[in-house]
Amino acid sequence: MTQVKHFLDLDQIDPDELKSILKKAHALKAQKYNPPQLFAGLSLAMVFDKLSTRTRVSFDVAMKQLGGHTVVMSKGEMQIGGAESIESTANVLSRFVDGVMVRISEHNKLLELAEYSGVPVINGMTDKSHPCQIMADVMTIEEKLGSAEGKKIAWLGDYNNVSQSYIDASKVFGFEFVIALPEDLNGNVPDGVSFTNDAKEAVKDADVLVTDTWVSMGQEGKDIEKFWPYQVNADLMSLAHKDAIFMHCLPIHEWEEVSEEVAKGPQSVIYDEAENRLHAQKAILAWCLEDAGVSVSQKSFNFGNK
Ligand code: CP
Ligand code: NVA
């Protein structure tokens, strides 16, 4: 029996496979008005224990545009979290669907679900990481700047799940990643990762400025005063490379981590980035579902080189 291809974290997947997933994503974007029916007859369960707009809609539309089906289950609508164990839930879902996309706070629960699942499990974000988002981000950087390799990406604000997946991606796609964050958070940055408490130093000559909310879901009520020097505003943007782009996974907390001027300005690519969730995830799904009896069309579909 072939091994189930879970998409859990970028450092768990062969770098060449990740690069080939992004090539497929570009090819599928080029065919967005004529999508190949790769997932005919296949179903994806989507489990959420947190809010979502982009992840939910992009996975739903990705499956449906490529001929598949989805079942969405939010917290409070299913037995998981109640009396039923993750092991039992994984076993049962595996008998119904061909893949499971999960947004769950505790990363260990994602791993447990994958351990007992007979079908691919995709990380739709945990408190530790958000790999699907960063696949879309790297795709966007490739579109806008040609390649991510050798570029300088400056992350401003909080060290969190999204920044952790950027760290993983920097090793795969060969970009420089530097974090600028308040001093009392230095200890959160993993060993070996470049960081500074000086936002201006971080953004100097950067090709990409990226940030995320200072208050991730589950951290409501947190004091944000210390983050103001890390707000991405026009002053900070002016210190970056003149062709630098601004990225944000969204949702933005208006106007805390980024000024309105930057978010809506000419260097901002936030809505292309959001759209690319759809295309990147089609390619992630195709990779995961490759051995799941995917329609013959996938075998003959030419993903092209880019
Ligand atoms: N960026 C992102 O994952 O957005 P949602 O929380 O809306 O899914
Ligand atoms: N860091 C944010 C990302 C939301 C997409 C959170 O975890 O809430």
pLDDT single digits (tens) 100-152: 999 999 999 999 999 999 999 999 999 999 999 999 999 999 999 999 999 99
Q: Nearest-CA neighbor of 153 among 242, 229, 231, 245?
A: 245
How far is ligand 1, taken at its centre, from the CA of residue 148, in Å? 22
Q: Nearest-CA neighbor of 122 among 294, 283, 270?
A: 283
> Is the Cβ atom of 129 under 6 angstroms away from ligand 1?
no
Phi, psi (degrees; rounded to nearest 5) at 99: -160, 155
Phi, psi (degrees; rounded to nearest 5) at 60: -60, -50
Q: Cβ distance 183 to 283 under 8 Å?
A: no
Rounded to whole angstroms, the Cα distance separating 138 from 143 reads 9
Ligand 1 atom nearest residue 50's Cα: 6
Is the model more confident about 41 or about 256?
256
Rounded to whole angstroms, the Cα distance separating 59 from 101 reads 8
How far is ligand 2, taken at its centre, from the CA of residue 216, in Å? 5
> Whose Cα sits closest to atom 6 in ligand 1?
52
Write a three-state SS string for 57-110. Answer: HHHHHHHHHCCCEEEEEECCCCCECCCECHHHHHHHHHHHCCEEEEECCCHHHH
95 catalytic per annotation: no
> Whose Cα sits closest to atom 2 in ligand 2?
216
pLDDT at site 80? 80
103 catalytic per annotation: yes
Q: Nearest-CA neighbor of 165 among 196, 114, 125?
A: 125
Q: How confident is the model at residue 77 (pLDDT cuts 50, 70, 90)?
A: confident
Select from 54, 59, 217 the residue to mutate for testing ligand 2; criterion: most ligand atoms less than 8 Å from CB: 217
Pick the CATH number of 10-128+277-292 from 3.30.930.10, 3.65.10.10, 3.40.50.1370, 3.40.50.720: 3.40.50.1370
State which H helix or E strand residue 122 sits in.
strand 121-123
pLDDT digits (tens, 9 = 90+) for 188-233: 999 999 999 999 999 999 999 999 999 999 999 999 999 999 999 9
Ligand 1 atom nearest residue 217's Cα: 6
Catalytic residue among 137, 164, 231, 249: 249
Q: Cβ distance 276 to 138 under 8 Å?
A: no
56 catalytic per annotation: no
The yes-or-no verdict on residue 178 having pLDDT over 50 is yes
pLDDT at site 76? 84
C-alpha 297 chain-centroid distance: 27
pLDDT at site 301? 61
> Is the Cβ atom of 103 under 6 angstroms away from ligand 1?
no
277 catalytic per annotation: yes
pLDDT at site 57? 98
Same fold yes or no, 10-128+277-292 and 131-273: yes
- The ligand with the least distance to the CA atom of 124 is 1
Q: How confident is the model at residue 296 (pLDDT cuts 50, 70, 90)?
A: very low
Buried residues in 166-191 as b, exposed as e (16+ CB within 10 A): bbbbbebbebebbbbbbeebeeebee
pLDDT at site 302? 63
Token duo for residue 221:
């009520």
pLDDT at site 191? 98
Q: Where are the domains of the chain?
A: 10-128+277-292, 131-273
For the entire predicted model, the pTM comes to: 0.96
User: Does the domain made of 131-273 have the CATH classification 3.40.50.1370?
Assistant: yes
> Whose Cα sits closest to atom 4 in ligand 1?
54
Burial of residue 250 (CB within 10 Å: 0-12, 13-18, 19+) is middle
C-alpha 219 chain-centroid distance: 20
pLDDT at site 87? 96
- The ligand with the least distance to the CA atom of 161 is 2
Rounded to whole angstroms, the Cα distance separating 257 from 224 reads 10
> Is the Cβ atom of 276 under 6 angstroms away from ligand 2?
no
Burial of residue 118 (CB within 10 Å: 0-12, 13-18, 19+) is exposed
pLDDT at site 149? 98
> Is the Cβ atom of 217 under 6 angstroms away from ligand 2?
yes
pLDDT digits (tens, 9 = 90+) for 45-72: 999 999 999 999 999 999 999 999 999 9
> Whose Cα sits closest to atom 7 in ligand 2?
216
Ligand 1 atom nearest residue 55's Cα: 8
Q: What is the mean pLDDT of the chain?
A: 94
